[in-house]
């Protein structure tokens, strides 16, 4: 695996593959890799001959009081995992390359980027959209893969790519979970054992709400019950909601819907989401 920190070397490697007619996949990450990331890498492996993984802890998507400074950084372990998985190129852009002096451009995705996590983490999706636009332009992959764990992020990126006519396929990869149902996340490492045990309430609450609504129950009542389960488990709830799966706005009968939640346990903010399977109960 090549480890590359300069744009001309990245472009050179990708141009060589392109010239040979090979498809290139990009998996953007912030590192501290776990099996969720590796599922993206495996899907990328199936989708293209050449796989590029980027690791960049993007300061623009962290709010002033968020965890940028303590975000886990594990470059050596990450690099070994990616090499073992057969990744061809690890793209590690330095922060000065991403945001040199004088950088002033901001990519803002209105609507889908402004609600839910966009409202609770002001500026977050601008930071994501800006860095993803840059990563796509740097690597110019045929396909880029993102996890459904960050469902709203995936929806924001799909909108961005459609609106700006970016010539790349976006593929969402299903959420990878621990045996008890907790979604894998780099931030799970912040949980002390007691919080980790309680954290299972997050996927459980979503599952309870999903089954109640799919059975024909009132959505607001089911969401209130889910919020109550989270509070009982010791979470502070940012939101538990049912939304249109594409716009993240109000759900519309006949269109795919998603249940999404964000909640804090101790100092750790976790997110999760599941589809509303209205066919569950026939
Ligand atoms: N459990 C998971 N299943 C599938 N994809 C995942 C999972 N966790 C993360 N991803 C995806 O991996 C990519 C990189 O995510 P990132 O590096 O931020 O990891 P993370 O575990 O989501 O970290 P964080 O705890 O900061 O949210 C994103 O597309 C994200 O959706
Ligand atoms: C897509 C991403 C790599 C952009 O920094 C990040 O938000 C992430 O890891 O999900
Ligand atoms: N995986 C989402 C990145 C973030 O929370 O900043």
- CA 57 to ligand 2 centroid distance, Å: 8
170-180: pLDDT as tens digits: 999 999 999 99
ipTM: 0.98
pLDDT (tens digit, 9 = 90+) per residue, 86-109?
Answer: 999 999 999 999 999 999 999 999
Domains and CATH numbers, the chain: 2-173 (3.40.50.620), 186-275 (3.30.1300.10)
Two structure tokens written together for 85: 């998985």
Q: Which residue is closest in CA terms to ligand 1's atom 7?
A: 36
> Whole-angstrom Cα distance, residue 2 to residue 91?
8
Q: Please name the residue that has the structure tokens 């880029």.
A: 144
148 annotated ligand binder: yes
Nearest CA to ligand 2 atom 10: 29
Separation between Cα atoms, residue 80 and residue 78, nearest integer Å: 5
Q: Could you count the other beta carbons within 10 Å of the beta carbon of residue 52?
A: 28
Do the annotations mark residue 218 as ligand-binding? no
For residue 82, what pLDDT is reported? Answer: 98
Residues ≥6 apart with Cβ < 8 Å to 178:
184
Q: Which of 28, 76, 34 is nearest to 56 (CA)?
A: 28
Percent of the chain with pLDDT over 70: 98
d(CA 113, CA 136) in angstroms, rounded, equals 19
What distance in Å separates the CA atoms of residue 57 and residue 30, rounded to the nearest whole number? 5
Average per-residue pLDDT for the chain: 97
pTM of the shown model: 0.97
Number of H helices, E strands in the chain: 10, 9
Q: Which atom of ligand 1 is nearest to the CA of 153?
A: 31
CA distance 78 to 84: 10
**Residues of the chain by 3-state class (helix, strand, coil), percent to 5:** 45, 20, 35
Residue 37 known to be catalytic: yes
Please, which residues bridge with residue 271 across strands?
Answer: 262
pLDDT exceeds cutoff 90 at 195: yes
Residue 282: pLDDT above 60?
Answer: no
CA–CA distance, 9 with 26 (Å, rounded to integer) = 16
Element (H, E) at 27: strand 24-29
Judge if the beta carbon of residue 272 lies within 6 A of ligand 3: no
Q: What percent of the chain has pLDDT over 90?
A: 98
**Is 187 a known ligand-binding residue?**
yes
How high is the pLDDT of residue 53?
Answer: 99
| Predicted local distance difference test score (pLDDT) of residue 277 | 83
At residue 167, the 3 state secondary structure works out as coil
Distance CA 242, CA 263 (A): 15
Q: Whose CA is nearest to atom 31 of ligand 1?
A: 147
């Amino acid at each position: 695996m090549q480890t590359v920190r300069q744009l001309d070397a990245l472009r050179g490697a990708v141009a060589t593959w392109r010239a040979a007619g090979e498809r290139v996949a990009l998996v953007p990450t912030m590192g501290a890799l776990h099996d969720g990331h590796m599922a993206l890498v495996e899907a990328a492996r199936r989708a293209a001959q050449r796989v590029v993984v980027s690791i960049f802890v993007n300061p623009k998507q962290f709010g002033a009081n968020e965890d940028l400074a303590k975000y886990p950084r594990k470059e050596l372990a990450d690099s070994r995992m990616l090499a073992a998985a057969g990744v061809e190129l690890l793209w590690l852009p330095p922060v000065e390359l991403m945001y040199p002096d004088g950088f002033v451009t901001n990519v803002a995705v209105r609507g889908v980027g402004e609600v839910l996590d966009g409202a609770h983490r002001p500026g977050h999706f601008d930071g994501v959209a800006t860095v993803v636009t840059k990563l796509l332009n740097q690597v110019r992959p045929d396909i880029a893969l993102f996890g459904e764990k960050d469902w709203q992020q995936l929806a924001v990126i799909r909108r961005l790519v459609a609106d700006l006519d970016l010539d790349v396929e976006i593929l969402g990869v299903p959420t990878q979970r621990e045996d008890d149902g907790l979604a894998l996340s780099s931030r799970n490492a912040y949980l002390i054992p007691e919080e980790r045990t309680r954290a299972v309430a997050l996927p459980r609450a979503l599952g309870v709400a999903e089954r109640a609504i799919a059975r024909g129950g009132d959505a607001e009542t089911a969401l209130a019950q889910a919020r109550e389960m989270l509070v009982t488990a010791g979470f502070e709830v940012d939101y538990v909601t049912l939304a249109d799966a594409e716009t993240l706005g109000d759900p519309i009968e006949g269109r795919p819907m998603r249940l999404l939640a964000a909640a804090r346990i101790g100092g750790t903010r976790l997110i999760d989401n599941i589809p509303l399977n209205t066919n569950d109960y026939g």
